[in-house]
Structure 1
Amino acid sequence: MNDLIPAWERIEAWLRQHQCTSELSELHPPASDEAVQSLQDAIPYPLHPHLVQWLGIHAGAPMYDASIWPDRYVPYDVEALKGGPEHMEMMLEEFNEQRDEDPEQWILDPWADPLWLPIAGTNTGESLLIDHRPGDTYGNIIEVDYEGNEVTAVRWKNLGEMIRLMAEALESGSPMPYSRQYAYVPQLDEGPPSYLNWKLERIPD
């Protein structure tokens, strides 16, 4: 579980080595203990330890100026995270309303759950969430993409795994696993300024 912190240190070292400092500088500094506690007080279930570790490194970023995570995802700050449960409630109501309109033909899995917490988003509406349900799914990173073939899909086992795979991909130049069909390939755009781009590529059959 402690792999997240050294893995992120490797990512920051790679970014600095390749002069990708503009987006890195946009990330917020660590959240204070008081800020993390205020977040926990606003969330009706214990925060996943990986999220707490992440907030101890960077407390999110301004939307949408630090898309270091794959596919332009920007991690939410503490105030945005506090709104996660209410957002999930709204999304679940939307899902139930749409399903109830034609229940016999409805085939989509729910795209919200009271124990899913949105942790990052894009400027086109996709979200990453941490699954806080107990059991085998605990900690899973779920992607919600209303325009994708799968509205919801588990992308990584947990946040620590996601960040570790990012670090390994940057250091080796190898693809970062994403789904059965696709992977993210890190690319350096030398600018100026230099910045990191993650290209989604199909895995050869």
Structure 2
Amino acid sequence: MNDLIRAWEHIETWLREHQCTSALSKLHPPASQEAIRSLQDAISYPLHPHLVQWLGIHGGAPMYDAPIWPGGYVPYDVEALKGGPEYMEEMLDEFNEQRDEDPETWILDPWADPLWLPIAGTHTGESLLIDHRPGDTYGNIIEIDYEDNEVTAVRWKSLGEMIRLMAESLESGSPMPCSPQYSLVPQLDEGPPSYLNWRLEKIQD
């Protein structure tokens, strides 16, 4: 059993022990091998193995209906994932158009790349992506937040690391790192129904 699967089992155990199953209950069952093959056929590059492992646990969730990941992110289902490359193409065209309008003062990093695949989103429009570019960035989890000064920022080295840190944070009650300046602190709202919140907290110097 790999670390990602083991870590997610710890997360589900914690959520059930704390009667915090509202979002958990809305996750889809494991994606079938046929569905995963169909997804791979729709993507022009090999899917990162952590994404394949995740889909073997839960095949996503109804859009914006199960904020199960830190930051209120809902993991996309297979059909939504298939639209990722087209969405990236549209976002890259938008970026290039805006940069071309004022190239002398443009300072923002690109908010799209043909090898970035969106894997989760929030109801306020933020996205998590997996970087499929070869090299040191391969597998990185990138956040796109149009309201943030960074717009794009690497949050975790991989999906496996994100889920592992989530499990460790829930079990220990300690903050979950998400940037050099901020961490996410798990908070249980006992409701009813009970649900999990992640409070953004500045890391003290």
TM superposition score category, shorter chain reference: over 0.9
Tell me what 2:177 maps to.
Answer: 177
Q: Does 1:18 align with 2:18?
A: yes
Distance 2:196 2:126 in 1: 19
1:122 aligns with 2:110: no
Specify the SS of the correspondent of 2:147: coil
After superposition, what is the alpha-carbon deviation per residue over 1:116-163, rounded to whole angstroms, capped at 9, x for unaligned?
000000011100000000000000000000100210000000000000
- Structure 1 runs of 4+ with >2 Å offset: none
- Helix, strand or coil for the counterpart of 2:92? helix
- 1:144 aligned partner: 144
Which amino acid in 1 is paired with 2:29?
A: P
CA distance in 2, matches of 1:141, 1:94: 22
Q: Which TM-score applies when normalising by structure 1? A: 0.99
Letter in 2 for 1:166: M
The residue that corresponds to 2:86 in the other structure is: 86
After TM superposition, list the pairs within 5 Å mapping 1:52-67 onto structure 2: 52-67=52-67
Sequence identity of aligned pairs in percent?
Answer: 85
Superposition deviation, residue 71 in structure 1: 1.0
- 1:2 is displaced (CA, Å) by 2.2
Aligned residue number for residue 2 of structure 2: 2
Shift of 1:62: 0.8
Please report the TM-score for the alignment, with normalisation by the length of structure 2.
0.99
- Inter-partner Cα distance in structure 2 for 1:175 and 1:30: 29
Q: Residue 42 of structure 2 corresponds to which residue in structure 1? A: 42
SS in 1 for 2:71: helix
Q: Which residue of the partner structure matches residue 68 of structure 1?
A: 68
Q: How many pairs are equivalent?
A: 205
User: Which whole-Å CA distance do the structure 2 matches of 1:176 and 1:152 have between them?
Assistant: 19
Residue matched to 1:190? 190
Task: Return the letter of the residue paired with 2:154.
Answer: V
SS in 2 for 1:119: strand
Residue 56 of structure 1: how far off its partner (Å): 0.1
Find the aligned partners of 2:168 and 2:63 in 1 and give their Cα distance. Answer: 26
Residue 158 (1) aligns with residue 158 (2): yes
Cα distance per residue 1:137-195 (max 9 Å; x no partner):
00000000010021000000000000000000000000000111110000000011111
Gaps of 5+ in 1: none
Output the CA distance in 1 between the equivalents of 2:125 and 2:65.
15
Q: Structure 2 stretches of 5 or more lacking a match?
A: none
Query: Secondary structure, in 3 states, of the residue corresponding to 1:71?
Result: coil
